[in-house]
Amino acid sequence: MKLNYKRTILVGFAFFLISAFWQAYDAIVPLILTNHFGLSQTWSGAVMSFDNVLAVFLLPVFGALSDKVNTKWGKRTPFIFIGTILAVVGFIMLTFIDNYQLSAVITTDIPEKYAAADAARKAAYELMASARSAGDPTLIAEATAALKAVDDAFIAIAAETFEITMVNIVPLVLFILLLLFVLISMAIFRSPAVALMPDVTVKPLRSKGNAIINLMGTAGGIIVLVLGMVFATSKIYMQYTWYVVAVCTAMVAGLVIFLFSVKEKLWAEEMLEDTRKYGIEEVAVEDNAEKRKLSRPELISLMLILASVALWYIGYNSITSKYSVYATRELGFEYNATLIIAQAAAVIAYIPIGIISSKFGRRKTILAGILMLAAAFLLGNFITPITPQPFMYPIFILAGIGWATINVNSFPMVVELAKGGDVGKYTGYYYTASMAAQIVAPNLSGILYDVFGMRNVFFVFGTVFVLLSFLTMFFVKHGDAKPEKQGALEALAGGDDD
């Protein structure tokens, strides 16, 4: 009994579509909301949490609907086809509304004011570096005042941009309505796409299958980041239409490969045949006897694991959902290269992480990953606009490895506590914790950015919440299976799909 890697890679194109979209969405939508519409970080964070709010309610609905569908193309394929087409069309149309809004902004002197503020910011940081080097209190005070003036300038620019939005609020209303349409379209096929791999893979091989699916998703994200570098999406006042068209072309190409190569019904039937052939039962009768309530120590561990998931997702998502804004506005950096480096580091680290976790245990490996991620965020606090951008690369390599270490091992710890047929329910617990955290992250961090300044809070917020997850995970006593011999790919299974 061996995993059909070619078949699993082809099924993984459904995951490829999802990751490609979310990588582009997280990169440009925050930039559009803050730079083109002038929304505050608080309101931008609220809009960025829409997808997670919808996911909590819609993912179970469409997953259940796809269970009941039976077409000649299978259960999941119709949802993947319809959802992808609707999302692609809506995403491209979204840029037309943005272009209309942008045309109103660039006819003013706002772009020139932004360029002047950007230059003043770099000069203020250079002055601060010189003042601190010389230890001159007068110069330090002067540099501090200059930085405050820069912050005030950016706030004034945002306010002026928002005034333009309020003069004609129709583009903003249409943008948000169409954005909701796109997010609902993505929700149509997200759960069916996740469910497809288990549909066509026998139970003992699903861990390896899930690892391949996650790697396909990472490939989709990296391709979109490369497109971001090609189209220079770090520019503040630019039209994103051709970039989004390129991303959607990659999505459609992946969909075409999926539709013409994946034979869902046939492969699902073959999976059932193999299940009978090898004496595997999808829901074993004896599992009913295993269904029991968790002991008090097990329940406490489950709560602590879920609390850890929520805390590190709040810290991590606060960075990823606004990094494009922070890199362009506060640092003047091109953000795509650093994100590519982080993802590449994670991919390279997957197999070593699997080996390490199988030897030392999931809990200890996660704790090490938390420390790496927190250290990366902590170091990020010391990066300024006058810091050479290559200094960011080792920080993002550390962050990529740290996040991969956490993500690879956390989901298996949750389902390790599941008894028999309760795996699906415990999977729901995991995603409820992670999605709820991703609702909190952009909203809470956005409010703090507006109150204390994005430069002062951005990496501090992420560091604090990641370190809090260390405390909760430290006291977990259950859910860590005894180290056992397993394939490195098997240990990879269970990462998040976003």
Q: Which residues pair with 74 in a beta bridge?
A: 71
Tokens of 5: 């890697």
* Residue 296 one-letter amino acid: R
276 shares its domain with 302 = no
Establish if 242 belongs to a structural domain. yes
Tokens of 191: 């759960």
Q: Considering 281, 313, 347, which residue would you say is the last residue of a domain?
A: 281
Establish if 47 belongs to a structural domain. yes
Establish if 289 belongs to a structural domain. no
The predicted-structure confidence for 127-138, as pLDDT tens digits, reads as follows: 888 887 888 888
482 shares its domain with 344 = yes
94 shares its domain with 186 = yes
What is the Cα–Cα distance from 316 to 406, expressed in whole angstroms? 11
What is the Cα–Cα distance from 193 to 41, expressed in whole angstroms? 32
Tokens of 94: 């979204």
253 shares its domain with 312 = no
Establish if 211 belongs to a structural domain. yes
pLDDT at residue 180, rounded to an integer: 95
What Rg do the C-alpha atoms of the chain give, in angstroms?
Answer: 24
The predicted-structure confidence for 241-290, as pLDDT tens digits, reads as follows: 999 999 999 999 999 999 999 999 888 888 888 878 777 654 444 444 44
Q: Considering 281, 307, 329, which residue would you say is the last residue of a domain?
A: 281
The predicted-structure confidence for 47-61, as pLDDT tens digits, reads as follows: 888 877 887 778 777
373 shares its domain with 443 = yes
Quick check: pTM over 0.85?
Answer: no
274 shares its domain with 176 = yes
pLDDT at residue 210, rounded to an integer: 65
Give just the sign of the alpha carbon dihedral 349, 351, 354, 356.
Answer: negative
pLDDT at residue 495, rounded to an integer: 43
Establish if 415 belongs to a structural domain. yes
342 shares its domain with 274 = no
Domain that holds residue 486: 295-498
Q: Nearest to residue 364, comparing CAs of 376, 377, 353?
A: 353
109 shares its domain with 84 = yes
Give yes or no for residue 79 having a pLDDT over 60: yes
310 shares its domain with 235 = no
Give yes or no for residue 211 having a pLDDT over 70: no
302 shares its domain with 265 = no
pLDDT at residue 14, rounded to an integer: 92
243 shares its domain with 303 = no
Q: Nearest to residue 367, comparing CAs of 375, 379, 430?
A: 375
Give yes or no for residue 492 having a pLDDT over 70: no
Q: Is 85 exposed, middle or buried (0-12, 13-18, 19+ CB in 10 A)?
A: middle
Establish if 290 belongs to a structural domain. no
Domain count within the chain: 2
Establish if 386 belongs to a structural domain. yes
Q: How confident is the model at residue 206 (pLDDT cuts 50, 70, 90)?
A: low
Q: Considering 250, 281, 312, which residue would you say is the last residue of a domain?
A: 281
266 shares its domain with 406 = no
pLDDT at residue 285, rounded to an integer: 41
CATH number at residue 365: 1.20.1250.20
